[in-house]
Chain A
Amino acid sequence: MDEEKDQQLNKEIRSLPNYQMKREKKEEIQQQLMETAAHLDQKERKTVRMKRFTIGVASVAVIMIFSFIALTGSEFFQQADKQTDREITATDNPENNPQSENDKLTIQENTDTETLLREQANQIVTLLANEDYQSLASYAHAEKGILFSPSVNLKDRHQTFSQDEISTFMTDSTVYQWGTEDGSGRAIEMTPKQFHSEYMYPSDYQSADEITFDQFESRGTIKKNIQSYFPESHAVEFYKEGEHEMGWHSLNIVFEQNQIGEWKVVALAQGQWGS
C-alpha cells in the first residue's frame, strides 16, 4: 500500500515543471563564457611558451657549464691532487671558514624570524576570533596601515586602513567597496563588520588544519601576488578545510619591517576556492 503511494508520489515529483533558461540570457552567458575561456587558453599558452623558453635557456646554461668543466677539468684535478693535509684540516675548522659561519647565522636569523612571526600571527588570529580590532591596531604597520583583501591577488583598489581606523573597525558603519567577487564580478560592498565575518574570519582559524610560513603558491585558481606586492614581506597562512572540497578558506597575515626593524602587519588577505 505504502509502496503504491510512494510510486504515485514519485511520479508527481518527476512531473514537476522543468525550468528553462531564457534564450537571450543563455546566449549572453555563453558569449561571456567563451570570452573568459579564450582569455584563459591564451594565458595558458603564454605560460607554456615561457616554460619552454626557460627550459631552453637552462639547457644551454647546463651545456656551457659542462663544456667549461670538461675544458678545465684536467687542470682542476691536478691542482686538487697537490692539496696538502694542512689545507684539508684548515677547511674542516669553522674558524677558518667565515663564509660558512655567515650562512649559519643567516639560517639562524631566518628561523628566529619565522618563530617570531608564527607566534605573532597566532596572537592576531586570537584577536580576530574575538573581533578585537582595537588591540589589532597595535600590530598594524604605522606608516603603511593594513590592506584588507578579499583575495590572495592583492590590488591597489583594495581597502587600506590606518592604525586609528583599525581601532574603530567594528563600529564603523560606512559601506566600503572591498573589491569584486570572483566569477560573478559583483562588487563587494559592505561595512567593515560584515567584511570581517564574511572575508576575514569566515572559518575558525584557531583550529586551522594547516599553518604555513611563506607559502607563496596559490591553493586556488587566482594568482597569489603577496610576494611581488610586498617584496620585503613574510607571510603566515592559516588554512581551514571546508564542509566540501571547494569550501576551504585561508587567512594570509603579511608582515613587513618598519623603520626600526619591528615586524608589523601590512595586509590581511583571504583565500578560498577561486579567489
Chain B
Amino acid sequence: MSRQTIVSEWFQWYHQDIYNFLVYFTGRTDTEDLVQEVFIKAMKHAHRFSGKSSPKTWLISIARNLAIDDVRKKKRRALHYSKPLEDAFHIGDHETPETFIDQEVRNQELYQLIQSLRKNYRDVVILHGIQELSVAETAEVLDWSNQKVRTTYSRALKSLRKMKGGADHG
C-alpha cells in the first residue's frame, strides 16, 4: 500500500484523537502544527509500524514524544529569554482550553486540577481517562505494565479527589 493511501486513511480516522490528546497534553489549542508533524513522522516511519498495536496507539506515542520534545525546546528557549516556563505555552494569541472549555465552571476546575497533577498522574488521566484508551493501550503508550496503569490511575483519582475536596471546602 502506498504512503498516500496509508496516511490518508490514518489521518481520516485518527486526526481528531491526536488533536484532542495534544490539546490536553500541551495545554494549548493551536497544536495543528504538531498534528501535522505526527503524521509526517508516521508516514516516514510507516515501515516500522509492526501492526502489533493499533495505529491509534502508535500515533499517540509519536504525538506524546513530539509534544515532550516541543515543550523541552520551548523550555530551553524560555530559559534563554529569562521568561518563566508558563510563558512558553502562551506565546502569541492562541486560545487555551480554559478560555472556551464549555463554559462550565466545574469542567474548568477539573481541567486545571488535572494540569496541576504530577506528570505520571496527568499522563494516565489524559490517556486512560480523557482519551479513553484501554488499560493495555495506555500501558503501551507509556511503556508501563497494565498493573502500573491501574495503580497509577487509581492514585491519580485519589489525588484529584483530595484536591477537589480542598477546592470545595477552601
Residues of A participating in the B interface, judged by any CB pair closer than 8 Å: 2, 5-6, 9-10, 12-21, 25-26, 29-30, 32-34, 36-38, 40-41, 44, 183-184, 186, 190-191, 193-194, 197-198, 221, 243-247, 273-274
Contacts and interface: CB of A to CB of B under 8 A. Distances in A.
A186 B24 CA distance: 23
Contacts of A25: 32
Contact of A37 (B3, B107, B164): B3
A16 B11 contact: no
Interface of B: 2-4, 6-8, 11, 15-16, 19-20, 23-24, 29, 32-33, 35-37, 39-41, 43-45, 61-62, 65, 68-69, 73, 76-77, 80, 97, 101-102, 106-107, 110-111, 114, 125, 129-130, 132, 143, 154, 157-158, 160-161, 164
Given A20-B16, A184-B37, A41 B76 contact: no
Contacts of B143: 244
A33 B8 CA distance: 8
Given A44-B3, A186-B33, A193-B80, 19 more contacts: A6-B158, A9-B157, A12-B110, A13-B110, A13-B130, A15-B107, A16-B101, A18-B20, A20-B19, A21-B16, A21-B35, A29-B15, A33-B7, A33-B11, A183-B41, A244-B61, A246-B62, A273-B41, A274-B44
B2 A32 contact: no
The 8 closest A-B pairs by CB, nearest first: A183-B37, A13-B129, A37-B4, A37-B3, A221-B44, A21-B19, A19-B23, A183-B40
Nearest to B110: A12
Q: Chain A CB within 10 Å — which of B29, B40, B143 has the most?
A: B40
A6 B129 CA distance: 12
A14 B24 CA distance: 13
B125 A13 contact: yes
Given A10-B157, A17-B107, A37-B7, A194 B102 contact: no
Contacts of B2: 37, 41
B130 to A, nearest CB: 6
B48 to A, nearest CB: 9
B16 A9 contact: no
A32 B110 contact: no
B167 to A, nearest CB: 13
Nearest to A274: B41
Contacts of B16: 18, 20-21
Contacts of B33: 184, 186
Contact of A29 (B35, B73, B157, B158): B35
A187 to B, nearest CB: 13
B106 A21 contact: no
A37 B6 CA distance: 9
B32 A19 contact: no
A37 B111 contact: no
Contacts of A244: 61, 65, 68, 143
